[in-house]
Structure 1
């Protein structure tokens, strides 16, 4: 039983394809990151079966996919994560992250507690918000880029200087939707990732503070979720912050159901 590592997404896919496809929902973070990750890894059992995967992006921050606690603990020992004193942060399913963090013997603190949801039967918001949904266009890039920065600040992360390229990619591929108020003003947004192994993840759900409390986020989320379903996405997913009961309740009203809990930790030395 051993961990293997590569910087090649093609080599990683070849080695871990069966494991990635078998539970695409639980591997959503790794599937999303693997084409830009600096390091990818897979855990093979004695019989060669892969039962654990990870993707490291950004550097020093591995995201753990579906894996056994044994595989997670093995990352903390020789043959596990190579290089330096180990990562600065780790993210992934709660049991795996805790197993790894405890095995390192390093002091650590939780930073985020998330829940992964999967869409069941999509249920439109009731009452329906006023206004309508539409696909974002090139003309919306400046506004959406500013909102993306506000979103990152709102979730407590360090924002980048410019999100123009980030949102342009999503808009040009038709993956970002806006909710317009009756007067035509965009008042909320939601995006969906590219589809990989039949799964795609809703993200960038954001409503500026002055527009909240009117159901606009529900309208935008329902619209982007419906578009993903109509495009043939088998598993429409999203993450919520467990500390935010409002968003957790909203997504469940729309038809999202819990899959598993996730944890992010920071090592304090």
Structure 2
């Protein structure tokens, strides 16, 4: 974790836990370029590999332009997301049949399959079977995952994540292909979010902007988009990083 400061003020915050992307928050956009330059110089001088970044879309793109100019590495979008906020659930929403319940240990094998499917649908980094099992086991133990059942058959899931003093995030919203187009996920998100609002002021979630269905159903629930987020991956690692450092040394 690092900060960029100007005259004793924090103008940016950076955080990265390898192999996950670098997170960037700018509190002073007027001095964003100087903060980006300072970060890039630090990464290069300390030979810290940068696989990808995630931030508000315009911030991520601005950093990528600077990084490409300094290193020669190209960037590509691997996640183009909309950030949504919910304060009240749409009470007129048409519901699907079924009900939701907490996931249990006996659901773990099914949820591991769904987790792999969710990763594939959202273009997230692949997970090994052991990683999927560990992730599901932890989430089930913490009672974070809920399932929607229709006639006793699990047909969709969702998860609570990243609680703060005022908000909580709904994630891992997934319906396997054979149960889609029946409104299960929409109904689950609505009922689950309504329950979460009993303890939090508002709910948050991310959607894939390339998936119009996902964006549509969450807006029907009552979520409204407040920002665009993007994860950008940098290509041409290793030797390009070295040549960039050499160019900086020459300059």
Superposition TM-score tier, normalisation by shorter sequence: 0.7 to 0.9
The aligned residue for residue 188 of structure 1 is 156
Structure 2: state its 5+ residue gaps.
237-251
Is the 1:66–1:93 Cα contact (8 Å) retained in structure 2?
A: no
- Number of aligned residues: 227
Contact map agreement 2:5 2:11 (CA 8 A) in 1: yes
How far apart, CA to CA, are the structure 1 residues paired with 2:167 and 2:11?
A: 19
Deviation at 1:261, TM superposition (A): 0.5
C-alpha distance in structure 2 between counterparts of 1:118 and 1:217, whole Å: 17
- Give the CA deviation at 1:81: 6.6
Quote the RMSD (CA, aligned, Å): 2.1
Q: Quick one: distance in 1 between partners of 2:102 and 2:65? A: 45
Q: Which stretch of the first structure deviates more once superposed, 76-85 or 94-103?
A: 76-85
**Is the 8 Å Cα contact of residues 125 and 254 (structure 1) preserved in structure 2?**
no
Residues 90 and 264 in structure 1, CA contact (< 8 A), matched pair in contact too? yes
Deviations 1:32-54 (A, max 9, x none): xxxxxxxx1222231x2323222
Distance across 2 between alignment mates of 1:246 and 1:89: 27
> TM-score when scaled to structure 2?
0.82
Measure how far apart 1:260 and its partner are.
Answer: 0.8
Compute the displacement of 1:71 (Å): 5.5
1:251 correspondence with 2:218: yes
Distance 2:59 2:49 in 1: 16
Residue of structure 2 in register with 1:148 after alignment: 115
Q: Report the structure number with the largest CA radius of gyration.
A: 2
Report 1:1-269 matches (<5 A). Answer: 40-46=1-7, 48-59=8-19, 61-67=21-27, 68=29, 69-70=32-33, 72-79=35-42, 83-84=46-47, 86-104=49-67, 105=69, 106=72, 107-124=74-91, 126-157=93-124, 158-162=126-130, 163-181=132-150, 183-230=151-198, 232-269=199-236
CA contact under 8 A between 1:72 and 1:97: conserved in structure 2?
no
Deviations 1:152-197 (A, max 9, x none): 122223222232221222222222111001x200100000104134
Ranges in structure 1 where 5+ consecutive residues have no aligned partner: 1-39
Given that 1:133 and 1:219 are in contact with CA atoms closer than 8 Å, whether structure 2 keeps it comes out as no
Q: Please, what TM-score do these two structures have when normalized by structure 1? A: 0.77
* Higher helix proportion (structure 1 or 2): 2
Structure number with higher relative contact order (C-alpha < 8 Å, ≥ 6 residues apart): 2
Contact kept? 1:74, 1:80, Cα under 8 Å: no
Cα distance in 1 for partners of 2:166, 2:182 equals: 32
